Amino acid sequence: MKTRHTRTGGARARRGAPIGALTLALVTAGSVVPAAAAPGNPHRNPAGDPDFGPNVTFVDPSWSTDRINALLDSVNDEDEFSLNRHQVFFEPGVYGSAAGQEDPATATDIVNQTVGYYEAIAGLGAQPGDVLVNGAFQVNPVVRCPDTPWACQDPGSLTRFWRSLSNLAINPIQTSVGADRDLPFPPGTVAPHQMRWAVSQAAPMRRVDLRGDLTVFGQMGEYASGGYLANSRVTGTLSTGSQQQWYTRNSEVGTWDGGVWNTVFSGVDGAPATDFGPHADGTTGNKTTLDATPLSREAPFLYRADDGGLAVFVPAAKRESSGVDWSTSTDAGQSIPIDDFYVARADQDTATSINSQLARGKHLILTPGVYRLDKAISVKRAGTVVLGLGYASLTPTRGNAALTVADVTGVKVAGITVDANVPRSDVLVQVGRKNAHKSDPADPTTLSDVFIRVGGPWAGQAVTSIEVNSDDVLLDHVWAWRADHGTGVGWEANTAAHGLVVNGDDVVATGLFVEHYQQTQTVWNGERGTTVFYQSELPYDVPSQAAWNDDADPGRLGYASYRVADAVRTHTAYGLGVYAFFNQGVDIRSTSGIATPAGPGIAFRSMTSVFLNGSGGIEHVVNDVGGPAVGSFAAPQVVAFP
């Protein structure tokens, strides 16, 4: 019998606040990554499809719900830093019965399971409604105190990372499963027509038609540090509750409720009005709403074409867009047949074999696994698509980059995780060579659901995680994370200066998460940059103030998380939260979470600094504006700067 995961993995910041206030494989130098053990795959590729390997499963309507639930239960119990990866595809059709929708306790024939680490679930329809699931794909918080869960809200969902759901419709019918059913307060319990997806970073929900209510936090208000929802429809209520931050883009919601510090909507039909900042009645708001998203492109996805074969649809980029767009017409994007892709496998391919196929003009699918790379995967052809399945992970082994894009336009990279290694890499993902000059505003190079880790599964080091040198680049849902827990973690162990460095002009980031880097976490040198939603925690493990002062800026204490270079004349950003938890018992200070010039072309909206716990804190929100976030869960806000 399976037991519920209760490990915290070395928790993220302790948020000991009331409800609603807040939320291993060791690889040594020389880095030998063990091969991931592949579970038995009860259903291989349908006839005519490429060989996607043992970690991709295709489910079709001939499967019973018992068989589907058993499959999902066999792939949802990976540890937080497991090397196993799983992709589950649902062929077009209807799954499960709606008979219990008014009273989930009576439901007997529903698809209903938890979704675990490194598990990606997706439909293969051209429209989300082509795959209709009666049931729930649920994520619940860690239950540390089963008898009094309201008294143990930490860690809750703070480490519910690395899982995804996309391209299907759900009639939500959810009940607790497995050992959860025997707890005094089963965490999977929800009201009729509701599904719980209580996640934090790197757990996107895209292109989902949720025909009911969606709650993204635990039933007892457990802490959560999410999250991202895009190109989806929630017909009922979207409840963000104790989520300290959440970003919803180009979607539709019936109604919305909850949130703590930084809740951002862009291009969302039904979004609430902006209320960020202090109010006359002494309350503070947390919502920032943009009527349209300045630049967007939905992630490429695999689907069944009319002829029954697989294809990858690559949506076109759009400007000032709003609402969902599920079209696969020629006006909405490009459909690329599967024969134009090289399907790589971690147990068979090397950087050399992959690059050889890219040089032949192939696009690339990375099937689930951990790819050890002695040189970078090198994308040199304009318009190339690199699509990762099931959290496919890249790790350099010789101090090289994991992925580089040449001075070309229109490259699309989606669904990959990159793990730093030793020896140290100067950069892990590089978009454009230094001084790149080729760009196309109508077809921006796009990174979607790209997640970087420095430390965690093993010791790793890198100077910069992502470097953008090209102009006209879109970063849509990126999480760059210097690990605060796991293996190989420590101030001198998983060293990393910057999560993101932007040198190109006209770069847009929508849903940017950058955490725990040891110097300026996000450095923006390019002109006309735009960020919509930013979440960052300062490094926890700073040993002393002297170890964390910027020699190039002797007038300030510590580093800003988000810095716009002094020479930049035009920059725009909406919805930024920078949090502090210095856990070494030393009074560490940052002069400000955000540093920027203040010229007429600079516009920041909706910013907050937050003291989570520990010692020290942040003295100002932006430059010398905004009160201190020092002690007692202080969360000062600045509505606009200048």
Residues involved in catalysis: 537
CA distance 171 to 134: 5
* CB-neighbour burial class of residue 595 (10 A; exposed 0-12, middle 13-18, buried 19+): buried
CB–CB of 135/174 below 8 Å?
Answer: yes
CB–CB of 253/238 below 8 Å?
Answer: yes
Element spanning 69, H or E:
helix 65-74
- For the stretch 44-57, what's the b/e string if a residue is b when 16 or more beta carbons lie within 10 angstroms of its beta carbon? ebeeebeebbbbbb
Q: Give 248's strand partners.
A: 229, 265
DSSP SS3 for 599? coil
CA distances from 307 to 124, 334, 385 (A): 13, 16, 22
* CB-neighbour burial class of residue 407 (10 A; exposed 0-12, middle 13-18, buried 19+): middle
- 212: DSSP letter: S
CB–CB of 622/594 below 8 Å?
Answer: yes
Element spanning 353, H or E:
helix 351-359
CA distance 596 to 621: 11
Which residues does 287 contact at the CB level (< 8 Å), separation at least 6?
A: 259, 263, 264, 265, 272, 273, 274, 275, 276
Strands 163-172 and 86-90: unpaired
Q: Whose CA is closest to 215, among 250, 183, 246, 181?
A: 246
Which residues does 240 contact at the CB level (< 8 Å), separation at least 6?
A: 216, 217, 227, 246, 256, 257, 258, 259, 263
